[in-house]
């Protein structure tokens, strides 16, 4: 299993575990980003080790190539000096280094390709982490909006709940009913045990309204010129006793007429209508 496959497996395992235990999404996302960065740091160390191995192989390959060239030059020098025996030994050494260089070149080429792949994967992992960080901010913003909307819905649900208002209205009605009962009880008690003399005077005082009406009627007649005012009255002449008795009878009859019982509104309005019609006919 490759390095990044192992890292991917570990990341998925950690993320799934965090999601399963998620309580605060913002904290969980931050923790996931931290785990990703830790895995990225481990991947960097692994890639750095692979690069170091690749460079070591390259150095070994360069050394074998150098040895191959050096022994070739030595063989040529031996041939020039007429030392064929030394030339043969140099050629043998040159062949050995050339074979090792060829094998080393294959190993180094494979290592170099893997190292380049690791570098590319590391860049992709880093880009994904940066993208995850950007998405984290977006997800946190969405999560906060969702929380705000949930609080609004909960508040609206609380406002639509009328149980508290109904209880308040019932209590207010109960208090008002208690107050009405108290007032009724006080009224009954006063009626049974109250001062009757004061009530009698109140009834007498209420009779002053009729006198007031009589006074207003006299003032209206004076204003209309139907009767003379107090200043225009002439002194009464002395009459016999019979005339006095007749006058007293007339006055008594007039007072009896004036002290009529209250008339119903309908009858009163009908009489006024008749008066107005009579006035119009005249």
d(CA 209, CA 215): 10
Please check the confidence at residue 131 and state whether its pLDDT lies above 80: yes
* pLDDT given for residue 238 in this prediction: 47
- Span 62-119, pLDDT tens digits: 999 999 999 999 889 988 888 888 889 999 999 999 999 999 999 999 989 988 988 8
Please check the confidence at residue 243 and state whether its pLDDT lies above 60: no
d(CA 86, CA 189): 149
Q: 165 phi and psi, to 5 degrees?
A: -65, -40
d(CA 75, CA 87): 4
Residue 18 token pair: 């965090």
Read off the pLDDT of each residue in 182-195 and give the average, rounded to a whole number: 71
CA-based torsion, 247, 252, 253, 259: positive or negative: positive
* pLDDT given for residue 106 in this prediction: 92
pTM beyond cutoff 0.85: no
- Span 210-229, pLDDT tens digits: 666 677 778 888 887 778 76
What is the 3-class SS of 159-226, one letter each residue?
HHCCHHHHHHHHHHHHHHHHHHHHHHHHHHHHHHHCCHHHHHHHHHHHCHHHHHHHHHHHHHHHHHCC
In 3D space, the residue among 35, 28, 37, 40 whose CA is nearest the CA of residue 4 turns out to be 40
* pLDDT given for residue 1 in this prediction: 45
In 3D space, the residue among 32, 41, 29 whose CA is nearest the CA of residue 11 turns out to be 32
Residue 1 token pair: 């299993």
């Amino acid at each position: 299993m490759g390095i990044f496959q192992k890292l991917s497996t570990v990341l998925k395992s950690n993320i799934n575990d965090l999601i399963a235990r998620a309580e605060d999404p913002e904290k969980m996302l931050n923790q996931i980003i931290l785990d990703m960065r830790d895995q990225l740091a481990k991947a960097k160390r692994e890639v750095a080790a692979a690069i170091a191995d690749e460079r070591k192989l390259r150095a070994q390959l360069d050394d074998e190539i150098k040895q191959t060239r050096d022994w070739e030059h030595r063989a040529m020098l031996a041939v020039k000096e007429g030392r064929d025996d030394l030339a043969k030994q140099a050629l043998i050494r040159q062949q050995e280094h050339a074979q090792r260089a060829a094998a080393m070149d294959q190993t180094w080429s494979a290592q170099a390709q893997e190292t380049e792949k690791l570098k590319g994967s590391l860049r992709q992992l880093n880009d994904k982490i940066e993208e995850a960080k950007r998405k984290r901010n977006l997800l946190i913003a969405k999560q906060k909006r969702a929380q705000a909307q949930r609080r609004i819905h909960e508040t609206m649900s609380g406002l639509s709940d009328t149980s508290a208002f109904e209880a308040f209205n019932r209590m207010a009605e109960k208090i008002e009913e208690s107050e009405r009962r108290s007032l009724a009880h006080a009224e009954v008690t006063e009626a049974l045990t109250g001062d009757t003399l004061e009530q009698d005077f109140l009834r007498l005082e209420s009779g002053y309204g009729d006198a007031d009406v009589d006074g207003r009627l006299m003032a209206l007649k004076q204003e209309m010129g139907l009767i003379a005012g107090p200043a225009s009255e002439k002194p009464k002449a002395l009459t016999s006793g019979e005339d006095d008795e007749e006058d007293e009878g007339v006055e008594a009859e007039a007072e009896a007429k004036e002290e009529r019982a209250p008339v119903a509104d309908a009858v009163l309005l009908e009489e006024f209508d008749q008066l107005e019609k009579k006035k119009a006919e005249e």
